[in-house]
Amino acid sequence: MHCYISLSSICRSTKQYTMATRANGSSCSLASLMAAIFFLLVVSSRGAHGGRIAIYWGQNGNEGTLADTCATGNYAFVNLAFLCSFGSGQAPQLNLAGHCDAYSGACANLTADIARCQSMGVKVLLSIGGGAGGYSLASKQDVSHLARYLWESFLGGRPSAPGGRRPLGDAVLDGVDFDIEGGGGDPRYYGDLAAYLKAYSGKGAAGKEVLLSAAPQCPFPDQWVGKALDTGLFDYVWVQFYNNPPCQYAAGSGGGAANLLDAWRQWTSGVEARYIFLGLPASPGAAGSGFIPVGSLESQVLPALKASSKYGGVMLWSRYYDDQDGYSSAIKNAV
């Protein structure tokens, strides 16, 4: 929760103090004034609780480059979408739509863009899954194979198979995002996958922590990653509060933010994660329902969400739609 202390209130306080001390034959020194201001700033910073914005990039060739996305300064996290095929004997396949052809090795050209993003403090994660559902985890073997593939191909490892290559070149991503919205197999295996991946933290030449995030649907608990979230291994959970009328914002006479806030309380109390994010479409056209106008977000939703110590910010789908409407630019100061 934000704790604001206005400059005018500081001036009033110091003026009153100066008048009182002059009445006693002394004056307020500059050092005393600076000490008072410093104290107030410390108190303010301790009470502040701001958020950040996460974005999905990769599913529309007209959304601009990855480097341009990060250069906006609007995003703290970029999820590369998606590794859309894996498990049940399938060869894992990265699909970045119109940006590059991973099968031919052309996506290795993103190495410089990823490095540029990371140099600006942006965390870049690989998102696995997506809405198409052409994936599954059906056995422990599936899990171990996928974990090893992700480590060697996108994280801090190196391909162990002869002739193996990294689809994004030498770039070492910051983690893996679980956007599991279907597929086959047993959802419980995603918890095993999380454990395998988190165990790689600190390993490899880079020695980086492997960050884990997930994008569950807002009905609690999520049927696909709910069990995985029970592991407590996830750093960020961006809950999709859209395309789910029972737990999303309803404009007009539809109840406003009531259903969303009820669901938010379930997520923040029921999931052990560093931070929970409000997942939204970046424009009305980005989803079937659930878009929140800027004014409503700032007045009805964000003030209530910030009361939770787990509030992390806002996740947006996707960069293409955000680029069309400028939603992140409009909300970033309020987030």
- 272-300 residue pLDDT tens: 999 999 999 999 999 999 999 999 999 99
What is the mean predicted confidence (pLDDT) over 115-126?
98
Q: What is the pTM of this model?
A: 0.86
- Catalytic choice (181, 209, 272, 298): 181
Determine contact, residues 139/86, Cβ cutoff 8 Å.
Answer: no
What is the mean predicted confidence (pLDDT) over 4-14?
29
Q: So what's the pLDDT on residue 19?
A: 34
C-alpha 83/C-alpha 58 separation (Å) is: 10
Burial class (CB in 10 A: 0-12, 13-18, 19+), 134: middle
Whether 152 is catalytic: no
> Is pLDDT larger for residue 82 or for residue 12?
82
What is the mean predicted confidence (pLDDT) over 190-212?
96
What is the mean predicted confidence (pLDDT) over 170-195?
96
Q: Which of 8-12, 176-180, 181-185 has the highest mean pLDDT?
A: 176-180
Confidence of residue 13 (pLDDT cuts 50, 70, 90): very low
CATH for 48-330 is: 3.20.20.80
Confidence of residue 253 (pLDDT cuts 50, 70, 90): low
Confidence of residue 8 (pLDDT cuts 50, 70, 90): very low
What is the mean predicted confidence (pLDDT) over 170-185?
95
Burial class (CB in 10 A: 0-12, 13-18, 19+), 242: buried
